Amino acid sequence: MELAPAPDVIQSESREASWPWLDPIRRLTRPVPCEPDARAPGPDAHGYPAAVVALIVDGSPPAFLMTNRSAMLHEHGGEVAFPGGRIESWDADPATAALRELEEEVGIGRDRVRPLGYLPGIWTGNGRYWVTPLLAWLPGPFDLSALDLSPEVESVFPLPLAIGLDPRRYGRPSAPGTDIPVPMLLWDGPLIWGATARILLGCAQAFEPAAQDTLR
């Protein structure tokens, strides 16, 4: 299963040279999603498959598009997350599900997005979901204030790649309200922890140190 790029984006090598971070970012991905590891600690045999989009918004600096989930949601209300949700039976693959959720949650259609590949999947801490992240790119310029947010999303904000892909910015303090250590991004912005921070940290640890300067 190969990821087909969105049809209406510029793909020429001459234009891509304008984004020096693109090749190092692409090397974090694979063309097919990895399967759940049944031996992983804590997975629930009845867990649900889910998919999220780690969407890079072109800009100065380039940034991940993050959502603040509505506090009214039953699961993970009020938390920061990538756009995404459960994979439904009618979704052809995790990429299809992730891009569908992206459009439903923030109004960005698939035809505007360039999928780059899959990141390693993770189990959520309670084993309820096996999450497949799709890394994708939204060529700019783009106005985040113009997004059509669903009731599930309270707001969106950019997380600069230079921050999200810096492994030195992650710690493992206790999760809010517990004594359980979890990955957490240490920065001045909204709290990013748990599964979302684990996905980001995995990217940060795999990103080539020599390419850090391309993120600014």
Is residue 76 a part of any domain in this protein? Answer: yes
pTM over 0.75: yes
Which CATH number does the domain housing residue 53 bear? 3.90.79.10
SS3 for the chain is CCCCCCCCCCCCHHHHCCCCCHHHHHCCCECCCCCCCCCCCCCCCCCEEEEEEEEEECCCCCEEEEEEECCCCCCCCCCEECCEEECCCCCCCHHHHHHHHHHHHHCCCHHHCEEEEECCCEECCCCCEEEEEEEEEECCCCCHHHCCCCCCEEEEEEEEHHHHCCHHHEECCECCCCCCECCEECCCCCCCEHHHHHHHHHHHHHCCHHHHHHHC
Which pLDDT score is estimated for 174?
67
Q: What is the extent of the structural domain holding 60?
A: 13-161
Arithmetic mean of pLDDT, 47-55 = 93
Lowest mean pLDDT among 120-124, 137-141, 194-198, 210-214: 137-141
Between these two residues, 207 and 125, which has the higher pLDDT value? 207
- How many domains is the chain partitioned into structurally? 1
pLDDT tens by residue, 21-48: 999 999 999 999 988 876 555 545 567 8
Q: Would you say residue 170 lies in a domain?
A: no
> How confident is the model at residue 1, as a pLDDT?
43
Residue 127 lies in a domain: yes
pLDDT average, residue stretch 103-109: 95
Position 65 confidence tier, pLDDT thresholds 50, 70, 90? very high
Asked if residue 214 belongs to a domain, the reply is: no
Average pLDDT over all residues of the chain: 85
Q: Does residue 27 fall inside a structural domain?
A: yes
What percent of the chain is modeled with pLDDT above 70? 82
pLDDT tens digits, one per residue of 119-177: 999 988 777 889 999 999 998 777 888 889 989 899 999 999 999 999 999 998 766 66
